[in-house]
Chain A
Amino acid sequence: MNSTQTASADAARRREGGGLSRALNVSAVRRFLHRHPGVARLGVVILIFIVWEIAARTFMDPLFVSPPSRVFTSLGSVWDTSGVPAALRITFFELAVAFAIAVVTGLAAGLAIGLQPFARRSLMPIVLLVYGLPQITILPLFILFFGIGPPSKIAFGVTHGVFPIVITVVAGVQNLKPILLTSARSMGASRWQTFRYVIFPHMIPSFFAGMRLGMSGVLLGVLLAELYVSTAGIGYFTQMFTENFDPTKLFGLIAMLAAMAILLNEIVRRAENHFSRWR
């Protein structure tokens, strides 16, 4: 349906073009955009920024909205605000530690639960139940137990990140064809060999899928805890910029954090693509 529509639209355009070079150019641009949706996507993003720029410069209150050009040029001054580089470093450190702990414990727990049918049947419902609970309600408890420094953020990040990893690892082990295990054992593979050459390679794709979900969980947990209470992390600065009605710096800091999140997500996604290629 669509292709016929575009074909007739093309024909109509050709008819009205009538040899005028301008019209030809327009249709050439259209055809180019049609073949490269990525360019059109970029155009949409640029358009949004232009609208934002014009709106912020004309009728929006400068106490609340800052034009993107000013945000961009002030990135340097955000970086120079004393404490901001350290805050970003702390947040990155919290994310890295939380992610490492979540991956290690998630993998260990996932294997322990997934490799044993009985453990899987009895413990998986508990894991799913806990995963479905709104963890945000116990955030104040984390602060109470672990203090307002980095440990509470790391702990909250771990509890957000570990469950998706456990669940995907268990699912990955579960999807292993029993025939592979049986044939490995009948060919005389030891427990370790079975794990190393059968279970492990089959688990890799789901493990990396779990890492990707775990990374978004860790990001969510750490950022929630940071925004909730913070003495030196980015939560402190977002609150300060908000209270000082300094949208330029607030936008800049959030842009930096978003860039950090995108970068971390992208690394894990690349790793996932890379390691699931062998299939």
Chain B
Amino acid sequence: MARRDRARRLASRAVQIGFLLALFLLWYLATNVWGVNKLLLPNPISVWRQFVDVLRSGAFLPDLRVTASEFAAAFVLATTSGTIVGYFISRSRYFTRVFEPLLAGIFSIPIILFLPLYVLFFGLGPASKIALGTTISFFPIALATIAGFANVDRALVAAARSMGASNYQLFRYVLLPAALPVIMGGLRIGFTIALLSILGSETIASLAGLGHHIVELAEDMEMSRMFAYIVFVVAMVALLNFAVSYLEARGRRHQ
């Protein structure tokens, strides 16, 4: 039985690797043999060379610094405002019933629509990106905070109260540990969409940043270098997601 399981797992791994290899082979053949226009699809080898060059020369650093600082500012703002607002709404069942559907309703609108407004208010610089990233990731964080605190088992609260817990103790030892996993889920979503919306708003209207640099390269028709930057950003986001998943899994285990 175990052997068959292992054989199966190997087979599906083989399909996955084969799929990726076939994709690369197709890419290679399309550019080198079938002669697809270089302006549409650059050669994988030249993309790789550019990628190594980008990494080695550190040319990505200024743009990375802009994007990273915008992201950090937006995520910190969204986390503090989202958890504080969510916490105060969750303290009253009535407020929860009034505000929760309101927040959920606004969250269902594609907030990227407000980007032109933000560009009008805050200009093309980092401020409009930070504002958009904050707005977009505020909602999942606030909603998760409300859900986390509102669904704490009432029996736990009553038990802690009857044992004479102070407000602080109730928060620190009952409410927070019970709500934290749900809030973490919200932070996770907020993290991802803040990053995406910052890259997105940089792509659409900006002066600097990784998204802006990709657009610049596209407009200059420097395809290999543009692909190299795309690979760089994708790898960076994948690494960040991986790190967050790892931290989340570790946090789960510690509970």
Q: Does A258 contact B (CB under 8 A)?
A: yes
Bound Cα distance from A188 to B5, whole angstroms: 30
Q: Does B78 contact A (CB under 8 A)?
A: no
Classify chain B's interface size: 35 or more
- On A, residues with C-beta under 8 Å from B are 1-2, 6, 34, 37, 40-41, 44-45, 64-65, 118, 121-123, 125-126, 132-134, 136-141, 143-145, 216, 219-220, 223-224, 227-228, 238-239, 241-242, 245, 247, 250-251, 254, 257-258, 261-262, 265
Given A123-B15, A134-B237, A254-B117; A139-B203 close (CB under 8 Å): yes
Interface of A is mostly: helix
Q: Is the CB of A228 within 8 A of B116?
A: no
Q: Given B117, B120, B199, B203, which contacts A140 in the complex, CB threshold below 8 Å?
A: B203
Q: Given A41, A137, A216, A228, which contacts B234 in the complex, CB threshold below 8 Å?
A: A137
State the 3 A-B residue pairs at the shortest beta-carbon distance, nearest first. Answer: A122-B12, A140-B218, A122-B15
For the complex formed, measure the closest distance between the CB of B141 and the CB atoms of chain A, giving whole angstroms: 18
Q: Does B133 contact A (CB under 8 A)?
A: no
Bound Cα distance from A65 to B121, whole angstroms: 8
Q: Given A64, A122, A227, which contacts B11 in the complex, CB threshold below 8 Å?
A: A122
12 A-B pairs (CB sep. < 8 Å): A2-B93, A64-B121, A136-B196, A141-B218, A144-B39, A144-B40, A144-B218, A224-B204, A242-B120, A251-B117, A254-B116, A261-B109
Q: Given A123, A143, A220, which contacts B112 in the complex, CB threshold below 8 Å?
A: A220
User: A123 contacts which chain B residues (CB < 8 A)?
Assistant: 15-16, 19
Q: Does B211 contact A (CB under 8 A)?
A: yes
Q: Is the CB of B119 within 8 A of A242?
A: yes
User: A6 contacts which chain B residues (CB < 8 A)?
Assistant: 94
Q: Does B46 contact A (CB under 8 A)?
A: no
Bound Cα distance from A126 to B157, whole angstroms: 44
User: B215 contacts which chain A residues (CB < 8 A)?
Assistant: 140
Given A34-B94, A64-B120, A139-B203; A227-B230 close (CB under 8 Å): no
